[in-house]
Amino acid sequence: MEISTYYSTLTTGQPEEGWRKRLRTAYQILIPITLAFIMLAMGCDIQPKVVIKTLKRPLAPIIGASCQFILLPLVAFGMGKAFNYETEIGVGMLIVACCPGGAVSNIFCYWTRGNLTLSVTMTSISTVLAFGFMPLNLFIYTRGFNSRNVKVPYLEIFLGLVLTLVPLTIGGFIKRFFPKAAGVFIRIGSFAGIAMIIMAGIMQRFIYSNNAKRKDSWKIILGAAILPLLGFFLGFGISSLAFKWLKMPERRTIAFETSCQNVGLALTLVSFAFKGTRDQIGAYTQFPLFFSLFMMVEAIGLCIFIKGYQIYKDKKRVVHESPQKDNLDQNDHGKIPELTESENGVIINKAFMDSFHKL
């Protein structure tokens, strides 16, 4: 009997089919490669001067980091206990909740006129803070789910986080010496995250087919649907307490940063750091996969709602200001409206710019 067949029989009780074995091998190769490309794109998007400038007003980054690494893991732990998740499902949930922010949040902030500079800064900071907070949070909260004495590989998780610094650093060099190429990497990398989620979901459906037969799947789906929304409203609610210092774009940015996690990192860490049977590894990844699906769907839904409200406000403002245009002097007639550049780099009419900051 071949070693691979013997190992599969030992861990699952039955030999692993050849096609499934090849698919699992492909999954273990494609997921880290895609994650490396995403981190490369993230490195291309980081501007040290902008980060330092943003940190001179540290209130928003501090609130965002607190929501992401203190409140969200605590909420996830409470939800896991309330739903009475099994050990592997609960640990998978905590891994997602303890992950740093994902680059996809930058897209949602851009679409909703958030503070893109703050979004990129918070994504960068959370990636660095994850080196300490992710193992610490897992150490604190996994004990509540560890009824089967599952060993959490803290060292492997830390080393996995360290390895993400390599493409991140390379992206920084590309940004410094090849700025045009960096722009291309940023665009491709942002959508690579979405492609990774879809690809991982399809491949795992066939690799870990036994997980689709779980009787408690509805609990997993419900929890995965609730957690992103809780993250969004938690970030928005906490940041709104500082409304005197944080404008609406900053509060939206903190909300998206809290709810949009780096699911690719979670899937990679589970696949390479955790040991167990094939079905156990599949159980670890089940919550992250459902979470990633609902995270994208709900974030897009929130973007549509926010965008619709912004368009309504813009039209209302234009109608309100139109009588003033009728009273313009003849000398001002025909002038091109003054244009300015937004924080997102989009050239827009200055008359609308003021309304953007009031939303």
Q: Does a structural domain hold residue 134? A: yes
The pLDDT value recorded for residue 46 is: 73
Max intra-chain CA distance, the chain: 92
Mean pLDDT of the residues in the chain: 77
Q: Does a structural domain hold residue 196? A: yes
Q: Does a structural domain hold residue 5? A: no
The pLDDT value recorded for residue 181 is: 84
Tell me which residue range forms the domain holding 107. Answer: 15-208+215-305
pLDDT, tens only, 27-61: 777 777 777 777 787 788 777 777 787 888 889 99
The pLDDT value recorded for residue 68 is: 92
Q: What is the mean pLDDT of residues 165-188?
A: 82
The pLDDT value recorded for residue 108 is: 87
pLDDT at 354 over 90: no
User: In this predicted structure, which of 56-70, 154-168, 262-276, 322-336 has the lowest mean pLDDT?
Assistant: 322-336
CB 189 within 8 A of CB 264: no
pLDDT at 282 over 90: no
> How many separate domains does the chain show?
1
Q: Which residues contact 107 (CB under 8 A, 6 or more apart)?
A: 190
pLDDT, tens only, 83-114: 989 888 888 999 999 998 877 787 788 888 88
Strand pairing class (347-349; 339-341): antiparallel
Using a 10 angstrom Cβ sphere, with 0-12 exposed, 13-18 middle and 19 or more buried, the burial of residue 2 is exposed
pLDDT bin (cut points 50, 70, 90) of residue 268 is: confident
The pLDDT value recorded for residue 283 is: 80
Higher pLDDT residue, 296 or 205?
296
**Can you tell me the distance from the alpha carbon of 166 to that of 223, in angstroms, rounded to the nearest whole number?**
33
Among candidate residues 350, 115, 157, the one with its CA nearest the CA of residue 271: 157
pLDDT at 154 over 50: yes
Using a 10 angstrom Cβ sphere, with 0-12 exposed, 13-18 middle and 19 or more buried, the burial of residue 317 is middle
Q: Does a structural domain hold residue 339? A: no
Q: Does a structural domain hold residue 277? A: yes
The conformation of residue 213, written as its DSSP 8-state character, comes to G
Q: Does a structural domain hold residue 1? A: no
pLDDT bin (cut points 50, 70, 90) of residue 67 is: very high
pLDDT at 335 over 70: no
Q: Which residues contact 112 (CB under 8 A, 6 or more apart)?
A: 252, 256, 302, 303, 306, 307, 310
CATH number at residue 249: 1.20.1530.20
Q: Does a structural domain hold residue 7? A: no
What is the pTM assigned to this prediction? 0.74
Percentage with pLDDT > 70 across the chain: 75
pLDDT at 260 over 70: yes
pLDDT, tens only, 121-152: 888 888 888 888 988 998 888 887 765 566 77
The pLDDT value recorded for residue 262 is: 84
Q: Does a structural domain hold residue 101? A: yes
pLDDT bin (cut points 50, 70, 90) of residue 119 is: confident
Higher pLDDT residue, 352 or 227?
227
